[in-house]
Structure 1
Amino acid sequence: MDKKPLYRKVNTRTWGVRRHESVAHYRDQRNSKAASRDEGMRSSMHPGKQYGRDYTPLFRFLLSRVGGSWDAIFSEAVARLDQSAPVFWMVAIHEKDREEVVRLGESSYFNGLYVDEQNLLQLVNPKLKAQDMTPSCECCTHTFNGVVFGQTAGFGPRTSSVVDAEEPPA
Protein backbone atom coordinates (compact mmCIF):
# COMPACT_ATOMS: atom_id res chain seq x y z
CA MET A 1 0.00 0.00 0.00
CA ASP A 2 1.37 3.42 -0.98
CA LYS A 3 1.34 6.05 1.72
CA LYS A 4 0.07 9.55 1.01
CA PRO A 5 2.64 12.23 0.17
CA LEU A 6 3.76 14.54 2.98
CA TYR A 7 2.87 17.69 1.05
CA ARG A 8 -0.19 19.19 -0.62
CA LYS A 9 -0.42 21.06 -3.87
CA VAL A 10 -1.88 24.53 -3.42
CA ASN A 11 -3.67 26.46 -6.15
CA THR A 12 -1.49 29.42 -7.13
CA ARG A 13 -3.11 30.23 -10.46
CA THR A 14 -6.36 31.60 -9.06
CA TRP A 15 -6.89 35.30 -9.50
CA GLY A 16 -5.84 37.21 -6.40
CA VAL A 17 -3.25 34.72 -5.12
CA ARG A 18 -0.26 36.82 -4.10
CA ARG A 19 2.98 35.32 -2.99
CA HIS A 20 5.26 38.31 -2.50
CA GLU A 21 3.94 41.83 -2.10
CA SER A 22 7.45 43.26 -1.82
CA VAL A 23 8.36 42.48 -5.43
CA ALA A 24 5.45 44.35 -7.00
CA HIS A 25 7.59 47.35 -7.88
CA TYR A 26 9.94 45.13 -9.85
CA ARG A 27 7.04 43.41 -11.61
CA ASP A 28 5.73 46.77 -12.81
CA GLN A 29 9.02 48.01 -14.21
CA ARG A 30 10.63 44.90 -15.69
CA ASN A 31 8.62 45.01 -18.96
CA SER A 32 9.00 48.75 -19.48
CA LYS A 33 10.85 50.07 -22.55
CA ALA A 34 13.87 51.13 -20.53
CA ALA A 35 14.13 47.73 -18.89
CA SER A 36 13.85 45.90 -22.21
CA ARG A 37 17.36 47.08 -23.10
CA ASP A 38 18.83 45.44 -20.01
CA GLU A 39 18.97 41.63 -20.24
CA GLY A 40 19.36 41.35 -16.45
CA MET A 41 15.86 42.68 -16.01
CA ARG A 42 14.38 39.93 -18.22
CA SER A 43 15.51 37.00 -16.10
CA SER A 44 13.43 35.31 -13.46
CA MET A 45 13.69 36.82 -9.99
CA HIS A 46 13.75 33.46 -8.20
CA PRO A 47 14.90 30.75 -10.59
CA GLY A 48 14.21 27.25 -9.35
CA LYS A 49 11.76 28.36 -6.66
CA GLN A 50 8.65 26.19 -6.59
CA TYR A 51 5.32 27.57 -5.52
CA GLY A 52 2.17 25.69 -4.70
CA ARG A 53 3.47 23.25 -2.06
CA ASP A 54 2.15 23.03 1.50
CA TYR A 55 4.41 20.92 3.72
CA THR A 56 2.20 21.00 6.84
CA PRO A 57 1.65 17.20 6.66
CA LEU A 58 5.45 16.77 6.77
CA PHE A 59 5.79 18.99 9.85
CA ARG A 60 3.05 17.06 11.67
CA PHE A 61 4.66 13.78 10.63
CA LEU A 62 8.01 14.87 12.08
CA LEU A 63 6.42 16.00 15.36
CA SER A 64 4.61 12.68 15.69
CA ARG A 65 7.90 10.78 15.34
CA VAL A 66 9.83 12.57 18.13
CA GLY A 67 11.89 10.00 20.04
CA GLY A 68 12.24 7.68 17.05
CA SER A 69 15.29 6.66 15.04
CA TRP A 70 16.32 9.52 12.73
CA ASP A 71 17.47 7.23 9.92
CA ALA A 72 14.08 5.49 9.71
CA ILE A 73 12.15 8.77 9.99
CA PHE A 74 14.26 10.50 7.34
CA SER A 75 14.07 7.63 4.86
CA GLU A 76 10.27 7.41 5.18
CA ALA A 77 9.87 11.19 4.84
CA VAL A 78 12.10 11.44 1.75
CA ALA A 79 10.21 8.56 0.10
CA ARG A 80 6.97 10.53 0.51
CA LEU A 81 8.30 13.96 -0.58
CA ASP A 82 9.14 15.65 -3.89
CA GLN A 83 12.43 16.98 -2.41
CA SER A 84 14.31 16.52 0.86
CA ALA A 85 15.02 20.18 1.68
CA PRO A 86 11.77 20.90 3.63
CA VAL A 87 12.77 18.32 6.25
CA PHE A 88 15.69 20.52 7.28
CA TRP A 89 13.52 23.62 7.64
CA MET A 90 12.46 22.10 10.96
CA VAL A 91 15.20 19.60 11.87
CA ALA A 92 18.70 20.78 12.86
CA ILE A 93 21.48 18.27 12.31
CA HIS A 94 24.20 20.46 13.84
CA GLU A 95 23.98 21.89 17.35
CA LYS A 96 24.68 25.45 16.17
CA ASP A 97 21.56 25.34 13.93
CA ARG A 98 19.08 24.48 16.71
CA GLU A 99 16.13 26.82 17.21
CA GLU A 100 13.38 26.48 19.82
CA VAL A 101 10.66 27.81 17.51
CA VAL A 102 10.67 27.63 13.72
CA ARG A 103 8.45 29.88 11.60
CA LEU A 104 7.17 27.97 8.59
CA GLY A 105 4.72 30.20 6.81
CA GLU A 106 3.18 33.58 7.41
CA SER A 107 1.87 32.89 10.92
CA SER A 108 2.58 29.19 11.50
CA TYR A 109 5.16 28.25 14.09
CA PHE A 110 6.45 24.80 15.03
CA ASN A 111 8.78 23.27 17.61
CA GLY A 112 12.37 23.14 16.48
CA LEU A 113 13.73 19.59 16.23
CA TYR A 114 17.22 18.14 16.35
CA VAL A 115 19.01 14.80 16.09
CA ASP A 116 20.75 13.83 19.35
CA GLU A 117 23.91 11.80 19.95
CA GLN A 118 21.96 8.49 19.93
CA ASN A 119 20.57 9.41 16.47
CA LEU A 120 17.07 10.04 17.85
CA LEU A 121 14.77 12.89 16.81
CA GLN A 122 14.16 15.28 19.75
CA LEU A 123 12.40 18.59 20.52
CA VAL A 124 14.75 21.52 21.15
CA ASN A 125 12.45 22.81 23.93
CA PRO A 126 9.72 20.33 24.94
CA LYS A 127 8.22 22.83 27.46
CA LEU A 128 6.88 25.21 24.78
CA LYS A 129 3.08 25.33 24.54
CA ALA A 130 0.69 27.31 22.33
CA GLN A 131 -1.21 28.73 25.33
CA ASP A 132 1.97 30.46 26.54
CA MET A 133 2.75 32.17 23.23
CA THR A 134 1.79 35.71 22.20
CA PRO A 135 1.42 36.80 18.56
CA SER A 136 3.17 39.88 17.23
CA CYS A 137 -0.01 41.29 15.65
CA GLU A 138 -3.80 41.02 15.92
CA CYS A 139 -4.57 40.75 12.21
CA CYS A 140 -3.47 37.11 11.77
CA THR A 141 -4.34 33.83 13.41
CA HIS A 142 -1.02 32.58 14.76
CA THR A 143 -0.61 28.86 15.42
CA PHE A 144 2.00 26.77 17.18
CA ASN A 145 2.07 23.14 16.01
CA GLY A 146 -1.42 23.69 14.58
CA VAL A 147 -2.92 25.10 17.82
CA VAL A 148 -3.98 28.76 18.04
CA PHE A 149 -1.82 30.89 20.35
CA GLY A 150 -3.24 31.19 23.87
CA GLN A 151 -2.51 34.91 24.23
CA THR A 152 -3.72 37.83 22.16
CA ALA A 153 -1.33 40.52 21.00
CA GLY A 154 -0.67 42.69 24.04
CA PHE A 155 -3.88 41.76 25.88
CA GLY A 156 -3.05 38.60 27.85
CA PRO A 157 -4.88 35.25 27.73
CA ARG A 158 -7.57 34.56 25.15
CA THR A 159 -11.07 34.57 26.57
CA SER A 160 -14.13 32.95 25.15
CA SER A 161 -16.76 35.30 23.76
CA VAL A 162 -19.54 32.90 24.80
CA VAL A 163 -21.48 34.04 27.87
CA ASP A 164 -22.80 31.40 30.30
CA ALA A 165 -26.60 31.11 30.23
CA GLU A 166 -26.78 31.02 34.04
CA GLU A 167 -24.91 34.29 34.60
CA PRO A 168 -26.72 37.48 33.62
CA PRO A 169 -24.52 39.96 31.73
CA ALA A 170 -23.16 42.80 33.88
Structure 2
Amino acid sequence: MRRKEPLYRSVNTRTHGVRHPSGEYRWSRRRDDHTGQGAMHGKTRRGRDYTPLFRFLLSHVGDDWDAVHAEAVSRLDSPEPIFWIVALTESERKPIVLTGESTFFSGLYVDDANRLALVDPDLRIERLKPGCACCTHTFNGKPFVLKYQDDPV
Protein backbone atom coordinates (compact mmCIF):
# COMPACT_ATOMS: atom_id res chain seq x y z
CA MET A 1 0.00 0.00 0.00
CA ARG A 2 1.36 3.38 -1.00
CA ARG A 3 1.64 6.02 1.69
CA LYS A 4 -0.29 9.24 1.04
CA GLU A 5 1.53 12.52 0.64
CA PRO A 6 1.77 14.77 3.72
CA LEU A 7 -0.60 17.75 3.91
CA TYR A 8 2.21 20.28 4.29
CA ARG A 9 5.25 21.42 2.34
CA SER A 10 8.71 22.18 3.61
CA VAL A 11 9.75 25.73 2.89
CA ASN A 12 13.38 26.69 2.37
CA THR A 13 14.36 28.79 5.37
CA ARG A 14 18.12 28.73 4.93
CA THR A 15 18.46 30.74 1.74
CA HIS A 16 20.07 34.13 1.77
CA GLY A 17 17.54 36.88 2.38
CA VAL A 18 14.95 34.78 4.26
CA ARG A 19 13.93 36.79 7.32
CA HIS A 20 12.00 35.53 10.32
CA PRO A 21 10.10 37.87 12.62
CA SER A 22 11.88 37.90 15.97
CA GLY A 23 13.44 40.35 18.34
CA GLU A 24 16.92 40.22 19.69
CA TYR A 25 17.55 39.08 23.24
CA ARG A 26 19.13 42.42 24.13
CA TRP A 27 15.89 44.26 23.36
CA SER A 28 13.79 42.21 25.77
CA ARG A 29 16.03 41.28 28.67
CA ARG A 30 15.78 42.82 32.08
CA ARG A 31 19.04 44.45 32.97
CA ASP A 32 18.67 44.06 36.75
CA ASP A 33 17.66 40.37 36.91
CA HIS A 34 18.87 37.54 34.69
CA THR A 35 17.49 34.65 36.74
CA GLY A 36 14.48 32.65 35.65
CA GLN A 37 14.95 33.37 31.97
CA GLY A 38 14.80 29.73 30.89
CA ALA A 39 16.00 28.51 27.52
CA MET A 40 17.03 31.11 24.99
CA HIS A 41 15.65 29.22 21.99
CA GLY A 42 12.07 29.79 20.90
CA LYS A 43 9.26 27.36 20.29
CA THR A 44 8.27 28.75 16.89
CA ARG A 45 8.32 26.09 14.19
CA ARG A 46 9.26 27.54 10.85
CA GLY A 47 9.52 26.01 7.43
CA ARG A 48 6.03 24.56 6.92
CA ASP A 49 3.41 25.56 4.38
CA TYR A 50 -0.03 24.14 5.21
CA THR A 51 -1.80 25.18 1.99
CA PRO A 52 -2.29 21.52 0.97
CA LEU A 53 -4.04 20.90 4.31
CA PHE A 54 -6.41 23.84 3.83
CA ARG A 55 -7.27 22.70 0.29
CA PHE A 56 -7.83 19.16 1.57
CA LEU A 57 -10.25 20.43 4.23
CA LEU A 58 -12.14 22.59 1.71
CA SER A 59 -12.49 19.62 -0.64
CA HIS A 60 -14.11 17.59 2.15
CA VAL A 61 -16.86 20.08 3.08
CA GLY A 62 -20.00 18.04 3.76
CA ASP A 63 -18.10 14.90 4.75
CA ASP A 64 -18.05 13.23 8.17
CA TRP A 65 -15.76 15.22 10.48
CA ASP A 66 -14.34 12.19 12.31
CA ALA A 67 -13.15 10.59 9.07
CA VAL A 68 -11.74 13.85 7.68
CA HIS A 69 -9.98 14.66 10.96
CA ALA A 70 -8.48 11.15 11.25
CA GLU A 71 -7.05 11.28 7.72
CA ALA A 72 -5.70 14.81 8.16
CA VAL A 73 -4.00 13.98 11.46
CA SER A 74 -2.39 10.89 9.94
CA ARG A 75 -0.83 13.03 7.20
CA LEU A 76 0.40 15.92 9.40
CA ASP A 77 3.34 16.53 11.71
CA SER A 78 1.04 18.21 14.26
CA PRO A 79 -2.78 18.44 14.46
CA GLU A 80 -2.70 22.12 15.48
CA PRO A 81 -2.91 23.68 11.94
CA ILE A 82 -6.27 21.98 11.34
CA PHE A 83 -7.88 24.29 13.86
CA TRP A 84 -6.47 27.42 12.25
CA ILE A 85 -9.45 27.32 9.86
CA VAL A 86 -11.82 24.79 11.50
CA ALA A 87 -13.78 26.18 14.46
CA LEU A 88 -15.11 23.74 17.03
CA THR A 89 -17.20 26.28 18.96
CA GLU A 90 -19.64 28.90 17.70
CA SER A 91 -17.61 31.75 19.21
CA GLU A 92 -14.54 30.75 17.14
CA ARG A 93 -16.33 30.83 13.77
CA LYS A 94 -15.03 33.31 11.19
CA PRO A 95 -16.19 33.56 7.57
CA ILE A 96 -12.66 34.37 6.33
CA VAL A 97 -9.39 33.23 7.91
CA LEU A 98 -6.06 34.94 7.19
CA THR A 99 -3.31 32.30 7.04
CA GLY A 100 -0.47 34.40 5.63
CA GLU A 101 0.32 37.98 4.78
CA SER A 102 -2.23 38.06 1.96
CA THR A 103 -3.61 34.52 1.87
CA PHE A 104 -7.23 33.97 2.87
CA PHE A 105 -9.29 30.80 3.22
CA SER A 106 -12.96 30.14 3.94
CA GLY A 107 -13.69 29.49 7.59
CA LEU A 108 -14.97 26.02 8.43
CA TYR A 109 -16.81 24.50 11.38
CA VAL A 110 -18.27 21.18 12.51
CA ASP A 111 -22.09 21.28 12.39
CA ASP A 112 -24.61 19.47 14.62
CA ALA A 113 -24.65 16.43 12.30
CA ASN A 114 -20.84 16.09 12.74
CA ARG A 115 -20.20 17.28 9.17
CA LEU A 116 -17.58 19.75 8.01
CA ALA A 117 -19.32 22.93 6.81
CA LEU A 118 -18.51 26.45 5.55
CA VAL A 119 -19.14 29.30 7.99
CA ASP A 120 -20.41 31.53 5.16
CA PRO A 121 -21.40 29.48 2.09
CA ASP A 122 -22.44 32.65 0.19
CA LEU A 123 -18.96 34.20 0.35
CA ARG A 124 -17.58 34.75 -3.16
CA ILE A 125 -14.18 35.84 -4.40
CA GLU A 126 -15.82 38.43 -6.68
CA ARG A 127 -16.79 40.53 -3.61
CA LEU A 128 -13.42 40.57 -1.84
CA LYS A 129 -11.19 43.63 -2.13
CA PRO A 130 -7.43 43.57 -1.56
CA GLY A 131 -5.99 45.73 1.22
CA CYS A 132 -2.96 46.92 -0.74
CA ALA A 133 -1.60 47.10 -4.27
CA CYS A 134 1.79 45.53 -3.56
CA CYS A 135 0.66 41.95 -2.71
CA THR A 136 -1.13 39.24 -4.62
CA HIS A 137 -4.15 38.50 -2.43
CA THR A 138 -5.61 35.02 -2.74
CA PHE A 139 -8.80 33.41 -1.49
CA ASN A 140 -8.85 29.60 -1.36
CA GLY A 141 -5.82 29.54 -3.68
CA LYS A 142 -7.24 31.85 -6.36
CA PRO A 143 -6.19 35.50 -6.90
CA PHE A 144 -8.71 38.24 -6.05
CA VAL A 145 -10.80 39.41 -9.00
CA LEU A 146 -11.12 43.03 -7.88
CA LYS A 147 -8.05 45.25 -8.01
CA TYR A 148 -6.88 47.57 -5.23
CA GLN A 149 -8.37 51.06 -5.43
CA ASP A 150 -6.93 53.80 -3.31
CA ASP A 151 -9.78 55.85 -1.82
CA PRO A 152 -9.38 59.59 -2.59
CA VAL A 153 -9.21 61.74 0.52
Q: CA deviation at 1:42?
A: 7.4
Is the radius of gyration larger for structure 1 or structure 2? 1
Q: CA deviation at 1:132?
A: 1.4
Give me the whole-angstrom Cα distance separating, in 2, the residues matched to 1:71 and 1:41. Answer: 39
Q: CA deviation at 1:27?
A: 2.3
Give me the whole-angstrom Cα distance separating, in 2, the residues matched to 1:52 and 1:111. Answer: 23
TM-score, length basis structure 2: 0.87
Give me the whole-angstrom Cα distance separating, in 1, the residues matched to 2:53 and 2:88. Answer: 17
- The DSSP-based 3-state class of the residue aligned with 1:57 is helix
Q: Does 1:67 align with 2:54?
A: no
**Given the superposition, is the C-alpha separation of residues 28 and 83 from structure 1 closer, same or farther in structure 2, using an over 3 Å criterion?**
closer
Match of 2:40 among 39, 43, 48: 43
Q: Does 1:89 align with 2:90?
A: no
Match of 2:93 among 89, 98, 104: 98
CA RMSD of superposed structures (Å)? 2.3
Q: Does 1:152 align with 2:153?
A: no
> Which blocks of at least 5 consecutive residues in structure 2 are unaligned?
none
**Given the superposition, is the C-alpha separation of residues 6 and 42 from structure 1 closer, same or farther in structure 2, using an over 3 Å criterion?**
closer
Higher relative contact order (CA 8 A, sep 6+): 2
Q: Identity of paired residues, percent? A: 49
> Which blocks of at least 5 consecutive residues in structure 1 are unaligned?
156-170
Where does residue 14 of structure 1 map in the other structure?
Answer: 15
Q: Matched residue pairs, number? A: 147
Give me the whole-angstrom Cα distance separating, in 1, the residues matched to 2:84 and 2:52. Answer: 14
Match of 2:127 among 132, 135, 159: 132
Q: Does 1:4 align with 2:5?
A: yes
Q: Say which structure is richer in helix.
A: 1
Runs ≥4 residues deviating over 3 A: 37-42
Give me the whole-angstrom Cα distance separating, in 2, the residues matched to 1:106 and 1:146. Answer: 13
Q: Does 1:122 align with 2:117?
A: yes
- The DSSP-based 3-state class of the residue aligned with 2:53 is helix
